[in-house]
Chains A and B, each alone.
Chain A
Amino acid sequence: MIHLKPINRKAVRVEQATDHDVVALQRTALPQNPHFPLGCSLIFSPGWEADRTGGTAGLCQPVERDLFDCHIGCYWPAQVPDQLNHAPDWTAKCAAAQKDWRKIDLIFP
């Protein structure tokens, strides 16, 4: 910083903490240069770019349409199978999402 000089220890920490801060999808008054939102818009994630039919009509809907990445990296209340208990192999055939996303099947309780 050129215009502000940190004087006490807290100011030094504030400067360090705001240096290349991680900004996700929230609205913020801080000027960002440039602003890269984190999450599904940066990477290929079925459920956002394409719906299960390969089209875009069913994107980001509740129930079975929020797939794959929503339950890992996103705040979205993902409607995905319970991979810990009931469907441990749900994504077993999906080695690379870009290629194999059609192999992630629907699972009904």
Chain B
Amino acid sequence: MTAMWAAREHHRFEAAGRPFVYLVPSAAIFELDEASDSVLRTLNERPRTREELTEAFGDAEPAIAELARVQAIAEVSVPPPATPKVIPLAPFPLTTMVLNVTNQCNLSCTYCYEYGEDKIVDTENGRQPKFMTEETARQSVDFLLKESGKVAHITFFGGETLLNFPVLRKTIAYARRRAAEEGKDVDFSMTTNATLLKPDIIEFLAENRIGVTISIDGPREVQDKFRVFSNGAGSYDVVAPKIRELLKRHRSRPIGARVTLTSANLDVKRIYRHLTEEIGFWEVGFAPVTTSASRGHAISDDGYDRMLSQFRELAYEFLEASVANRHHGFSNVKETLEELHKGVSKAYPCGAGLGLLGVATGGDVALCHRFAGSDAHKVGSVTTGVDRQAQAAFLEKHHIANKTDCSVCWARPLCSGGCYHEAHTRYGDTGHANLHYCEWIRGWTGVCLQIYGELSVRNPAFLAQFDDQDMKETVS
């Protein structure tokens, strides 16, 4: 019998009037010509023999050979190679450590995963202290420098990080000194709600080149909907002038805004305009709120559709700016473009539990900052080190090969099932694929592929900027 040929997993898309293919799971992106595009599309309808293809397209052999070579197509009888389940070797070098210097906050944002209805750690009466001590912070630094490679990143997080500014300030000095002794480079960043920014703090952040991310949701009526003080008063009028001061003085690192999107707050373009043009942020990143589906602020399927169409419009603005070599601060698209450019194909959705760990106020080490302080997600402590058994069990359980839902999705090289904390909040299981936003992820990945394809034709030099960049974890 003559062998039948079929298409393997892929996502075909068009950009700049040309056909492209994104191959799964290799994450390679090829531009197709007419011959290879015809063969691929025909085989995607149903399997055919080489003779049928030759009959339809003339001499299709060279195109078939090339598509087969990159495994875009294959003989039906040859099973695709099984997903290799390779567990990273321990000890895996630590690149980023998120220090929760406090679990207290002076705001009472109603959607907050740390204090709201979906919280997993009792920060009021729980076992963890409310503030990290100087000693625990120093032990954390020692722990990081012991486990890290040449470069170590420390991110200060909360709670509201600046509630514990004295410890932050001393930890930075200590980490600089210790890193110099070890011959390593250390780099600092922090997230804050901006309410406690003062001239001397701003001066310190600028002088020490601390990367700053501000949690802010947008213009006054948007910000004040959820980001409120405990008496219900909005925080916009408090933070806006302080952020302007910060942006004016702190020029040594680009400062980004981090926006939480909710069902009541999906006007992405308007928020972006306000934060860049009126406030002056260099970059704005958006993330949908993490919450269980029953909450009023949870984003529904319709909401995800609306969000996607707004993201798409903003992404095309980013494209036109990039073609003209102008800066555009929509950071979501830039991060995805970088991953597409490198051809990342992930076994795990993020570095949590691997290259990134979160430290709770008491010194417990968790998968990431979102789980810091939770006994169920503890993988060690800064004094006793990483519990290698717990880490191995975590990596074994959360590998993409275990997520059967994802095994047929073309977006899995980038998504890999999505955020563990989101899954925990939605499904009570960190290993569950985040099925509620699959359509959104595929839609957004599709948009970014189009932008990537356009840039590869219209301004390939723009993409070359990602060549030498190390991937960095974003913390949100």
Contact = CB atoms under 8 A, between A and B. Distances in A.
A interface: dominant SS: loop
Contacts of A25: none
Contacts of B456: 7-8
B132 interface: no
Nearest to A8: B29
Interface residues of B, number: 34
Given A10-B26, A31-B65, A5 B31 contact: yes
A6 B31 CA distance: 6
A3 B70 contact: no
B20 interface: yes
Contact of B28 (A3, A14, A27, A28): A14
B9 to A, nearest CB: 14
A4 B342 contact: no
A6 B452 CA distance: 13
B65 A4 contact: no
Contact of A14 (B62, B70, B342): B70
A30 interface: yes
A4 B64 CA distance: 11
A3 B467 contact: no
A31 B71 CA distance: 12
Contacts of B78: 27-29
Contacts of B30: 4-7, 11
B69 A18 contact: yes
Given A27-B78, A30-B68, A8 B342 contact: yes
A11 B22 CA distance: 9
Contacts of A11: 23, 28-30, 70, 343
A21 to B, nearest CB: 8
Interface in A1-50: 1-11, 13-15, 18, 27-31
Contacts of B63: 3
B75 interface: yes
Nearest to A5: B31
Contact of B29 (A3, A7, A29, A31): A7
Contacts of B431: none
Given A8-B343, A14-B26, A28-B78, A3 B33 contact: yes
Interface of B: 3, 20, 23, 26-33, 35-36, 62-70, 74-75, 78, 340-343, 345, 452-453, 456, 467
20 contacts: A2-B62, A3-B36, A3-B66, A4-B30, A5-B30, A6-B28, A7-B20, A7-B452, A8-B27, A8-B341, A8-B342, A8-B456, A10-B29, A10-B342, A10-B345, A11-B70, A11-B343, A18-B69, A29-B74, A29-B78
A-B residue pairs, 4 tightest by C-beta: A10-B343, A11-B28, A3-B36, A29-B75
